[in-house]
């Protein structure tokens, strides 16, 4: 059928639905047309943009076989209370078929404080596991072979310290650093923009990140040195296009910083990874994932002149949307997570964490975690979604939306470039305000009823308080502090002092890579807080501000 004939048929269709529109008004928050046709897909560029899986620009996936070769890594996120308690949960997950671990750390750990610091009171072990020293990390991975498991650690400001602890534990197990597989989030820019668990100002933070790139490229080559995260940007209220635009802008800043530090782009770019949110709008999310790969491939080739295919491949981990979980009718969250899982799989994720039904109320119970993991397994083995690579390719709607999201994201990236890059845009408050405005619009749509959230603003029921929620023992903090003091009393404190003094000297030399010094300090059982305080003393601390 010719384009002219399609256009005529489309006009005829539009006329035929005019009466229906009067009876069923369109939902005001929807940007989509009612119908998509070949006219909505790119013309001459179409074949090149879509191409094949494993071929530039990787719209259809980074591997030629995708899940026909092997499934994504089923990486369940867990961590609470003490290292011993979290270790039990990790071993349970492995026994139930998890193929990777994802570590959640408590708030004091995330911002570089020990459990006995006054600022940590009431927060120890609450939203993740408390890690004060190498002794805790040893317990966290007790009876878990780090040579076989792939581990992701959601840690940012003190990522260098936690990575050093992980390397030290592996060495104690007899596993060399070059055999370790996993990821540290290590994405500080999104902390300034959307999340808030920062410690140091941007410049020394970027130094730490590039130090990790350099160290791992030589010593831990299988490790993903950063997971550039859009997840928290989306959780803060961004749109799909903003999520990938602001995150890729951060990625550009990291690549530029590494190149400025003297690294060759092809030496580190292949170990960069991304972290996306799987939100509720299934087809929009599929289009978002596809568009993100295409954008990154073009930027790495055209802006940074990368030559290796791996340097141009956007590989990503996905987590289902925590912000879309509801405390009302929590069993509905099982359905939401299943749909989000389907979106991530149809979009070609490399690894996936599925949230549990009760996480809007508490840390997930064992039963809820098992349902979340089984959701991935059912999608993998029973749904058929993993049988075909990029199953929605060629859908008029999905292809048109992939193009639209790419265009919107590139417009944001261009504006951020004009401001001087992601760091400058964050310092000016631009990215923060864009996210806040989108979050406000979403909430107004919910409150007005323009957007329906089942069980929240429609289809409500009277409910009894849920039972069986996980509760963290209130004495966890006291026990952790006691263990910390016992560890300090038993270590070689002179060795600790010497290692920290060496680290301070290294921090003062801008040309020195800090990773070997941090690793040396960790091996003396210097604590996270002690190491971060040395760096605080040299680098200072970041204070949030918005100046628009």
Strands (E), 91-171: 100-103, 150-153
pLDDT at 469: 81
β-bridge pairing 73-78 and 351-353: parallel
For 10-30, letters b (16+ CB in 10 Å) and e give beeeeeeeeeeeeeeeeeeee
Using alpha carbons, select from 276, 208, 287, 286 the residue that is nearest to residue 248: 276
Q: Please state, in angstroms and rounded to a whole number, the distance separating the CA atoms of residues 265 and 255.
A: 7
Phi, psi (rounded to 5 degrees) for 356: -95, 155
Is residue 78 classed as helix, strand or coil in its secondary structure?
strand
Is residue 460 classed as helix, strand or coil in its secondary structure?
coil
Determine contact, residues 156/189, Cβ cutoff 8 Å. Answer: no
Q: Please state, in angstroms and rounded to a whole number, the distance separating the CA atoms of residues 233 and 276.
A: 9
- Burial zone of 503 (CB within 10 Å; 0-12 exposed, 13-18 middle, 19+ buried): buried
Is residue 323 classed as helix, strand or coil in its secondary structure?
helix
Domains delineated in the chain: 46-70+136-448 (3.20.20.240)
Strands (E), 107-229: 150-153, 181-184, 223-224, 226-229
β-bridge pairing 316-320 and 181-184: unpaired
pLDDT averaged per 10 residues in sequence order, the chain, 548 residues: 79 71 67 79 66 92 93 83 90 86 93 97 92 97 94 95 98 97 94 93 94 95 94 96 98 95 94 95 98 98 97 97 96 98 98 94 89 97 96 94 96 98 93 96 95 96 84 84 97 98 97 97 98 98 71
Residue partners of 45: CB distance under 8 A and separation at least 6: none
DSSP summary character for residue 21: H
Q: Please state, in angstroms and rounded to a whole number, the distance separating the CA atoms of residues 23 and 407.
A: 34
Neighbours of 504 (CB within 10 A): 15
pLDDT at 43: 57
Sign of the Cα torsion 469, 279, 271, 132 reads negative
Using alpha carbons, select from 328, 300, 330 the residue that is nearest to residue 314: 300
Using alpha carbons, select from 197, 227, 256 the residue that is nearest to residue 542: 197
- Burial zone of 293 (CB within 10 Å; 0-12 exposed, 13-18 middle, 19+ buried): buried
């Amino acid at each position: 059928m010719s384009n002219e004939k399609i256009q005529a048929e489309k006009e005829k269709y539009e006329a035929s639905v005019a009466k229906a529109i009067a009876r069923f008004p369109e939902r005001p928050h929807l940007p989509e047309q009612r119908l998509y046709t070949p006219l909505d897909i790119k013309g001459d560029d179409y074949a090149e943009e879509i191409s094949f899986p494993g071929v530039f620009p990787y719209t259809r996936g980074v591997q030629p076989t995708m899940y026909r070769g092997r499934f994504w890594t089923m990486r369940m996120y867990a961590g609470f209370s003490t290292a011993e308690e979290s270790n039990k949960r990790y071993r349970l997950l492995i026994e139930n078929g998890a193929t990777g671990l994802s570590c959640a750390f408590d708030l004091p750990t995330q911002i570089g404080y020990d459990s006995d610091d006054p600022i940590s009171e009431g927060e120890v072990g609450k939203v993740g596991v408390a890690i004060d020293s190498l002794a805790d990390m040893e317990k966290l991975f007790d009876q878990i072979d780090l040579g076989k498991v792939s581990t992701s650690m959601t840690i940012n400001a003190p990522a260098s310290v936690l990575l050093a602890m992980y390397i030290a534990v592996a060495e104690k197990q007899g596993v060399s650093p070059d055999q370790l597989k996993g990821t540290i989030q290590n994405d500080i820019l999104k902390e300034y923009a959307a999340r808030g668990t920062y410690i140091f100002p941007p410049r020394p933070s970027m130094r730490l990140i590039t130090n990790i790139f350099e160290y791992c490229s030589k010593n831990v080559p299988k490790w993903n040195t950063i997971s550039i995260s859009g997840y928290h940007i989306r959780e803060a209220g961004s749109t799909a296009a903003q999520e990938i635009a602001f995150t890729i802008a951060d990625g550009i800043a990291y690549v530029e910083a590494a190149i400025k530090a003297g690294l060759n782009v092809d030496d580190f770019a292949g170990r960069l990874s991304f972290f996306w949110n799987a939100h509720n709008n299934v087809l929009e999310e599929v289009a978002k994932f596809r568009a993100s790969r295409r954008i990154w491939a073009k930027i790495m080739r055209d802006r940074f002149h990368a030559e290796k295919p791996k340097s141009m491949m956007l590989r990503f981990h996905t987590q289902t949307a925590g912000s879309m979980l509801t405390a009302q009718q929590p069993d509905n969250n099982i359905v939401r997570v299943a749909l989000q899982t389907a979106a991530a799989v149809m979009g070609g994720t490399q690894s996936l964490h599925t949230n549990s039904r009760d996480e809007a109320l508490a840390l997930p119970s064992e039963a809820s975690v098992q349902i979340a993991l089984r959701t991935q397994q059912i999608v993998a083995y029973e749904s058929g979604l993993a049988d075909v690579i990029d199953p929605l390719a060629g859908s008029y709607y999905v292809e048109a939306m992939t193009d639209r999201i790419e265009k919107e994201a590139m417009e944001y990236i261009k504006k951020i470039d004009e401001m001087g890059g992601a760091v400058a845009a964050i310092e000016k408050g631009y990215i923060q305000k864009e996210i806040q405005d989108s979050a406000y619009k979403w909430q107004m749509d919910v409150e007005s009823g323009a957007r329906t959230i089942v069980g929240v603003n429609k289809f409500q029921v009277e409910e009894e308080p849920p039972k069986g929620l996980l509760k963290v023992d209130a004495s966890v903090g006291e026990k952790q502090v006691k263990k910390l003091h016992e560890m300090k009393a038993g270590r070689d404190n002179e060795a600790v002092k010497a290692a920290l003094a060496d680290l301070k000297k290294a921090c003062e030399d801008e040309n020195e890579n800090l990773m070997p010094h941090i690793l040396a300090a960790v091996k003396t059982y210097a604590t996270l807080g002690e190491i971060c305080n040395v760096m605080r003393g040299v680098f200072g601390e970041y204070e949030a501000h918005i100046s628009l």
